[in-house]
Structure 1
Amino acid sequence: MAPNPYLLAADNPEALLSLLRQDPSLASVQDEHGYSLVHAAASYNHLDLLRALIREFKVPVDIKDEDGETALFVVETVEAARVLVEELGLDATIQNDEGQTAAEKIEAEADWPAVAEYLRGPDGGSSANNGTPNGTASNGTGLPPVPEGLQVTMGTIDEAEVNGQQPDPEFRRRIEELAAREDFQTPEGQAELRKLVEEAIGGGVFGEDRNVRPRQE
């Protein structure tokens, strides 16, 4: 008897990944209610499985069940919600058939208040990336997302604080060229992106001669 992929999604995500690599067509299956393996992986907080379904097996991140609900409607942890929205590009403003967003439904049911709070915040709400392609969250800069393992704090800065200098066009060209490559989402492509970002953090974007001074609070 063939293993049930939904049971594996709940209890043995590693075995499910092995099964999917033998039969990739199973990755997009939905039951009679439209419930998908993406919904299951998100609900059970199996984040590596969730990433693989979207990135490796190309299941649409916004796959919906019979109620018009994406996987964001069934998450139980902020971590899973963050992976869906910030890493995988799921639009948090998608509404179900009753006109509710995931934040509104979760808030109304009062089961996972931390998730609802996250989705109401600046990262999970309307400022979240809106249904951009798998794994390429929009950040308003035209640049690809920061690779896993790095954290960047976004903010505003006065022009005077960088002495009028602009980011190095060569750096922008290199990172956009990398993002356009077919192997961008592979470990090798992400390693190259990480190297470029670390170079930028180390001062490669603005050059070594910029005047750096402490911010006055």
Structure 2
Amino acid sequence: MAPTGDGSAGPGENLWIAASDNDIERVRALMDSEGFTPTSADDTGYTPVHAAAAYAHLDLLTELLQRDGNAANVRASDGDTPLHRMADADDLAEDQIRPVVELLLRHRADPTLRNEENKTCLEMCFELNEDEDAIPEEGEGDDEDDDGMQCGIQVVNSSFLTVMQDLGITLPQPE
């Protein structure tokens, strides 16, 4: 059944905003009455599953994944999966990230999937710093500066990285 509306949930609100706001009742009502699904995408490919994961709305995400068991790997138009969105949510603490990641993995989320930037969710935790001044010269202090810089690569979401490592999911080693 195709959605019959545009996702509107009232003035200034829609399905995806309701999911971002953790408005479980509104999300449920729109799915039940308008034909939306956990993987209904807005014009950027953003889905309620992406929103629930990115904001660590565990109860909403649980319900969405119960409605669609294959939604854990849904992709936005940029190729991001819910795990990619979690990796990008650097304002969340480990205790918020862990249950969401565990839930996604239980629903067969694949941490090896790559987005349009050719990055896995783990690779999104790192950023190449192109500021040459941020990279210590050889023999200058230690190999790491105060910002976690080492060899020009900066960890941008250490909480997500720690959770994934604790769960035994790491970056593949170069051959």
User: TM-score with structure 1 length normalisation?
Assistant: 0.51
Note the residue ranges of structure 1 that are not aligned, 5 or more in a row: 127-217
Conserved 8 A contact 1:17-1:49:
no
Given the alignment of the two structures, is residue 65 of structure 1 paired with residue 110 of structure 2, yes or no? no
Matched, 1:89 2:108: yes
After superposition, the Cα gap between the structure-2 partners of 1:16 and 1:47, relative to the gap in structure 1 and judged at 3 Å, is same
1:6 to 9, 16, 24: 16
CA contact (8 A) 1:72 1:84 kept: yes
> Deviations 1:172-192 (Å, cap 9, x if unpaired)?
xxxxxxxxxxxxxxxxxxxxx
1:142-161 equivalences in 2 (<5 Å): none
**Matches of 1:98 and 1:125, distance apart in 2:** 19
Q: Which of 43, 54, 74 is matched with 1:32 structurally?
A: 43
TM-score (norm 2): 0.61
Aligned match of 1:133: none
Question: Structure 1 residue runs of 4+, over 6 Å off?
Answer: none
Judge which range, 92-101 or 50-59, deviates more.
Answer: 50-59
Match of 1:17 among 11, 15, 28: 28
**Counterpart residue number, 2:146:** none
C-alpha distance in structure 2 between counterparts of 1:25 and 1:58, whole Å: 15
Tell me if 1:119 matches 2:164.
yes
Shift of 1:24: 3.8
Which structure has the highest helix share of the two?
1
Q: Is the CA contact (8 Å cut-off) linking 1:13 and 1:46 kept in structure 2?
A: no
Inter-CA distance 29–47: structure 2 relative to 1 (3 Å threshold)? same
Per the alignment, in what secondary structure is the counterpart of residue 126 of structure 2? helix
Question: Paired residue for 2:124, among 102, 105, 109?
Answer: 105
Rounded Cα–Cα distance in structure 2 between residues aligned with 1:24 and 1:18: 9
Q: Give 5+ residue unaligned stretches, structure 2.
A: 1-5, 90-96, 128-153
Q: In structure 1, how many angstroms separate the alpha carbons of the residues matched to 2:76 and 2:65?
A: 16
Q: Higher RCO, 1 or 2 (CA under 8 Å, sep at least 6)?
A: 2
Q: Which residue of 2 aligns with 1:74?
A: 85
CA contact (8 A) 1:53 1:59 kept: no
Q: Map residues 128-207 of structure 1 onto 2, 5 A cutoff.
A: none
Q: Amino acid of the residue matched to residue 33 of structure 1?
A: T
Aligned sequence identity (%): 25
* Partner amino acid, structure 2, of 1:46: H
Larger radius of gyration: 1
RMSD over aligned Cα atoms: 2.5
